[in-house]
Amino acid sequence: MAWRGLDLFHQVLCQCEFINKKLAALDEYRRLRSKAEYSEAAREAGFRAIATVMEEAKAAAPTAAAPGEDLVLAACSLVGEALGMVVRDHPEAAKNAPFELRVNAIAKASRCRSPINGLKRPTQRFSEPMRTLAAGRKID
């Protein structure tokens, strides 16, 4: 009689365990489905935010330079306009001069500093860690 009760208890226990495993699998399925829904909603919200910024930028984007216009001067004028300053063309500067010389001449005529001199190549001391990181290695 005791063995029969133990067998019955074991059978009920196995059935409960089977039901618990099915419920755990169902809970995991629901969790993953909910996670996918939240992920999709976040993705759509991100796309909407990007689209909003792009629409604002598109509305505020300056027009391209007219054909035959000096592109370097036009670009410097756009930057100057954004900074609230007047940009002037250098009267003696050659229109076909290299970019750096052209920007420096425009900056001189406009009585402002040119950032071109600050864009030189970084020294070995600073560029080596960046190359190391780009290669995926640890910095010693």
CA distance 64 to 77: 12
Indicate whether 18 and 73 sit together in one domain: no
Long-range contacts made by residues 109-115, C-beta under 8 angstroms, separation at least 24?
110/76, 110/80, 110/85, 110/86, 112/80, 112/85
Where a domain ends, among 21, 36, 61? 61
CA distance 33 to 80: 52
Indicate whether 104 and 84 sit together in one domain: yes
Q: At what angle do helices 71-83 and 99-109 cross, to 10 degrees?
A: 50
Does position 38 have pLDDT exceeding 90, yes or no? yes
Indicate whether 34 and 44 sit together in one domain: yes
Which tokens in the block code for residue 46? 């991100």
Where a domain ends, among 61, 79, 109? 61
Indicate whether 47 and 95 sit together in one domain: no
Indicate whether 34 and 11 sit together in one domain: yes
Q: How many domains does the chain have?
A: 2
pLDDT band of 112, cuts 50, 70, 90? confident
Which tokens in the block code for residue 77? 């004028």
Domain of 96 in residue numbering reads as 63-140
Indicate whether 69 and 29 sit together in one domain: no
**pLDDT the model gives residue 12:** 93
pLDDT band of 13, cuts 50, 70, 90? very high
**pLDDT the model gives residue 10:** 92
**pLDDT the model gives residue 140:** 52
Does position 133 have pLDDT exceeding 90, yes or no? no
Which residues does 90 contact at the CB level (< 8 Å), separation at least 6? Answer: 105, 106, 108, 109
Mean pLDDT in the chain?
78
3-state secondary structure of 59: helix
Where a domain ends, among 16, 37, 61? 61
Indicate whether 54 and 68 sit together in one domain: no
Q: Could you report the per-residue pLDDT of 18-28, keeping only the tens digit for each? A: 999 999 999 99
Indicate whether 13 and 81 sit together in one domain: no
